[in-house]
Amino acid sequence: MGKDFPRTRQKNNIINQKQARMTHVNIAPRKLFFILFLLVLPVVIKAEQKELEEQLRKVIANKKAQIGIAVIINSKDTITINNDARYPMMSVFKLHQALAVADYCEKKGLSFDTPIYIRKADLKTDTYSPLRDLYPDGEISLPIKELLEYTLHLSDNNACDILFQQTGGTEATDHYIRSNLGMRHFAIKATEDEMHQDKNKCYQNWSTPLETARIIELLLNVRLFDDEYQGFIKTTMMSCETGKDRLARPLQGNKAIIGHKTGTGDRNDKGQIIGMNDVGFVYLPDGQSYTIAVFIKDSEESEAATARIIADISKTVYRHVTNNSHE
């Protein structure tokens, strides 16, 4: 997953030059220093993790919502806050679906270019759907990859349910994530249409922040299927058009690369936002990276204020990682 940025290559060249000049230096003091460095580094990293946790807790203090956070820095250092609750995923589960669709296609020997026929009846009129807006009469065939672009890029609800129909429903997606990826702290039981018809069913599709962050880590670091599928999912996440006021907001103009998937719910009977979420990965110009998952449940804040909480969390993590590089 690591990107070979020019700055990193330059740093490596400098290190190599220094090592060449130090060939005849007495090794013993250097070895002792290295041993001491290894002993001290875990303490330093643990302290930095504690520092980030404290900063994040300050960000979410006194907010009228239940907020869960998971951060995995450079695929190792992990911080979680309020990770024990079940957070409604809302459209974040379209990422889980995309992985299950890729597995389905690979096992069936299907390319992402394989067309799927879309009927007018598949295009529900009372839900968010750029697909329906563009093709209101249906009766067309679109390749699987275009439907995935609609789900991951635009979070289209009709495209999501069409893919469920073609690949075994929510049960198949839940089974893939549970059996193939080994995840347990989540559930996928309701389609987009079912959630729209009954808001309570939004709570049936849930995850802890860390479980979703772990899934993203697998997508980035483990070969799950052929790159035709896996590479496509990653690059499509990097062109996500939704939630620009959330994780992506503080990264604008920072030369960071973000891939993410959002989820947004309606208000429940108590007037609370059922869920507002953003999960994804960030590549930094210095070669560092991190995975982040933020779930907000039953928010009594406004939509704008709830999105700003996610943006503030994102800004806090970004500043922490860039200010604490050990490379």
Residues catalogued as catalytic: 91
Orientation of helix 93-108 relative to helix 209-221, angle to 10°: 40
Structure tokens at 78: 């992990």
Pick the closest to residue 290 from 301, 282, 278, 280 (CA basis). Answer: 282
Structure tokens at 16: 């190599």
Burial (Cβ within 10 Å: 0-12, 13-18, ≥19) of residue 17: exposed
DSSP lists the bridge partners of residue 140 as 118
Structure tokens at 240: 């996500």
Q: Which DSSP string do the residues of 114-153 spell out, in sequence order?
A: -EEEE-GGGS-SSS--HHHHH-TT--EEEEHHHHHIIIII
Q: Rounded to 5 degrees, what are φ and ψ at 260?
A: -155, 170
CA–CA distance, 51 with 38 (Å, rounded to integer): 20
DSSP lists the bridge partners of residue 262 as 278
Helix (H, G, I), strand (E, B) or coil at 205: coil
Integer-rounded Cα radius of gyration of the chain: 22
